[in-house]
Amino acid sequence: MSLQTELTSPSRHPLAGQTMTGADMIIQVLAEQGVEVMFGYSGGAILPTWDALARFNIDQESKRRKPIELVVPANEQGAGFMAAGYARASGRVGVSMVTSGPGATNSVTPIRDCMADSVPIVLICGQVPRHAIGTDAFQEAPVFNIMSACAKRTFLVLDPEELEATVRTAFEIARSDRPGPVVLDIPKDVQNWTGTFRGEGLLELRGYRERMQALYGSQMPEAKSAAFFDILRKSQRPLIYAGGGVIKSDAARDLKRFATTFQIPVVTTLQGIGSFDTTHPLSLHMLGMHGTAFANYAVEDCDFLIAVGARFDDRVAGNVKQFAPNATNIAHIDIDAAEIGKVKQVTWSHVADSRSGLQDLIAAGSGFKKDFSPWLSHVAELRKNHPLNYDRECDFIQPHYVLECLNRITRGEAIICTGVGQHQMWAAQYLDYKNPRSFLTSGSMGTMGFGLPASIGAQFACPEKLVINVDGDGSLRMNIGELETVTNYNLKVKTLLFNNQGDGMVRQWQKMYFSERFCGTEKFLHRKDFVNAAKADGFEFAQRLSEKNRVESVLQEFVHFDGPAFLEVMIDPDACVFPMIGPGLGYKDIVTGPYITARTNEPAKPPDKNDLF
């Protein structure tokens, strides 16, 4: 439903005018909003709404209608990340429902993670009755205070007459503008309250809606598009820098059309992976701290950088003053006006979602012609001369090799979820992504433990697709309880675990910048048997792989197993992620490692200790 339709033409609910509890109203609005799956864990303060869901589903089944599927995780954090994975994979609003106190506080990390990566979810939290708020009642927590600092919007519903409209408004806010998480803190007595269900209505948010109408209803002024093409006409080396906003606004097709129409190469952020087919000749893959050398060299060489749905974050821009040093012009399209000029000053900008911004430029540039073939030849040479590489002769299994083998099987068509660490960067570098919403990872927050629950949410969103969680031993431990959730619901999620017996990314930093003082990052004494843990949780395919010559054959079995599958690969503990640009450094300081050909042999400067992480 478009925002315009949602605001002007609400359809009357068939139950409008009926008397029901607040809990029933919550469930009816969820159904009205198209919620098909929700993730949550029960508890006393949310039980009225839990019971309303049960009664709703019984009624739906009696009428042979589809109920709202409830997925119960091992932990509320898992529920939040499942909702996030669902939202990231589908583009729809994910829903999580938890109880008060610890249920809500366990959900803080997923909420902040979704806010940082602009992911639309709605979290419904139970709260102690209104008269008990502030008395340190059993399982009370100041959810509004905590979540207001983490979410796009937080509501504490104290007036039951506003409950229905508040729930409906939460979905509107979550999905519109720059998407994000909305939290509903609903006291138990408000859930038990009885009133008249209106079946329509939103909260009065006049300023917000006026801004949305202006944002979605406007077109790029002719003078502004003309100014853009004046810059492009003078440019010799243009480069598109695409971020997660391209995916959030469903603009991947428009990005491809824009890039191919004007023959401009594309680099993407971590969150932008999948916005442009990585197998396309114009693709240079990921830029930034662990971006490909050829992508980063192209950023150094370009004279016109076109940022679309990206925000110049520190993992991309590094030393901001040195970022894109030869770009005499920088253009920026973003839905959030606050991002324009926040980090890097630009010479041309337009506030719009990526889709409408690109479409306006394509239409305005219908007669534009310029030959960028010398630049494209230069970029092709960069790709040829500075490809990704690793130690191919080592006796230990190299994670890069495993992913190369996996890539030959998936051919860029799988949904890949990751935890956070080295495995995350290897998956970003060595796998192809032909479609948007096919690489789901915690970017800005960098939350270990994200991958497994997110893959569960993604599989519920896309049951027909192959979903693979690429994880690390440190990251998997964070939410390992969700292995049982995979088998409980008989999901075909595949978990590929890279075990280097340590917190590999931090260990790499300690190796490079802290004189190899491996404090707290080596796990050789840890006794977790991941394979037996997976078997205990019901995985019929659970194997450990230690022999290099078996990698390809075992991966084939793993991917094609008809059901949940778990594969632990014992990898070289000294394998590192390269290229790497140290924090606070410029792209000229890129460290390519021993196996990727560098453009220059100048040694990189050590980063300032204050810039680390």
Confirm whether 609 is a catalytic residue. no
Active site annotation includes 478 = no
Pick the catalytic residue from 188, 248, 344, 523: 188
Query: Which one is catalytic: 18, 139, 263, 501?
Result: 139
Contact of 582 with 591, CB cutoff 8 Å: yes
Coil, strand or helix at 286 = strand
Checking DSSP bridges between strand 69-71 and strand 37-40, what pairing results, if any?
A: parallel
Residue 78: both structure tokens together: 């898992």
Please indicate whether residue 425 is annotated as part of the active site: no
d(CA 26, CA 7): 20
H/E segment holding residue 542: strand 541-545
Among the listed residues 25, 28, 32, 76, the single catalytic one is 76
Q: Are 599 and 293 in contact (CB under 8 A)?
A: yes
Catalytic residue among 505, 523, 543, 566: 505
Q: Is 139 a catalytic residue?
A: yes
Contact criterion met (CB below 8 Å) for 249 and 271? no
Instruction: Give 345's DSSP letter.
Output: -
- Of 69, 138, 234, 518, the active-site residue reads 138
Partners of 467 in the beta sheet?
A: 415
- 1 a catalytic residue: no
Number of helices (H) and strands (E) in the chain: give both, helices first. 25, 20
Contact 293, 596 (CB under 8 A): yes
The tokens of 37 are what?
């799956």
CB 578 within 8 A of CB 507: no
For residues 163 and 90, give the distance between their C-alpha atoms in angstroms, rounded to a whole number: 27
Distance, CA of 429 to CA of 448 (rounded, Å): 19
Asked if 40 contacts 54 with a C-beta cutoff of 8 angstroms, the reply is: no
Q: Is 129 exposed, middle or buried (0-12, 13-18, 19+ CB in 10 A)?
A: middle
Half-sphere exposure of 177 (CA within 13 A, CB side): 22
DSSP secondary structure string for all residues of 187-251: EHHHHH-EEE--S------HHHHHHHHHHHH----HHHHHHHHHHHHH-SSEEEEE-HHHHHTT-
Rounded to the nearest 10°, the torsion over CA 50, 54, 55, 57 is: 130
Phi, psi of 127 (to 5 degrees): -140, 155
Catalytic positions, written as ranges: 76, 138-139, 188, 505
